[in-house]
Amino acid sequence: MNDRKTAMLCDTTVYTNGDLVKNLSTSTEYFITGLQKSTAGAIQAQLLKVNCTVDVVRLTQVYDAGKPTGKYTEVPLFTSVGASYTDVTANMKLYDSGLLSTSTRKFILPVLSGVKLLDRIKFGTEVCQIDDVNLTNNEGLLTIQTSIDKRKVS
């Protein structure tokens, strides 16, 4: 509840779903997740609070004499991306059939070109493996489900 807000915008606004807006008095950033014309001639916006920053990296297999070593190196794709995360609980899995059984966190990010399954999200000291990328949950945003990444980096 604390992460979702409603705002009234001027009816001539050029914002679209997925845009990032900032409350200048608190410096809090929000994603626009929905826009709807109101009867007063304004536009009502549904907002989702940006509550973290993440790095997105791709792991590349390390080879020795043409043979895989079982170790990986990280190739940065995107750094310091504003995101909204949620811890996935057993109760959430009970009521949301779209959650994977292995998911531990769900991230909502701006659309990042080229992000794919098995890429990695670095969140604070935690490292997560991308298990699902969904463009349809929130128009203009990526919804990503992750699990703890156990792959070793050299």
Q: Per residue in 10-64, pLDDT tens? A: 888 889 999 999 988 999 999 999 998 877 788 999 999 999 999 999 999 889 9
Can you give the pLDDT at residue 1?
Answer: 57
Query: What residue segments make up the domains of the chain, in order of their start?
Result: 4-49, 52-148
Express each pLDDT in 94-115 by its tens digit: 888 888 888 899 999 999 889 9
* Tokens at 49, concatenated: 């609070």
124: left (phi over 0), alpha (psi -120 to 50) or beta: left
Share of the chain above pLDDT 70, in %: 99
Share of the chain above pLDDT 90, in %: 57
What CA–CA distance (Å, rounded) separates 143 from 151?
Answer: 23
CATH number corresponding to 52-148? 2.40.10.270
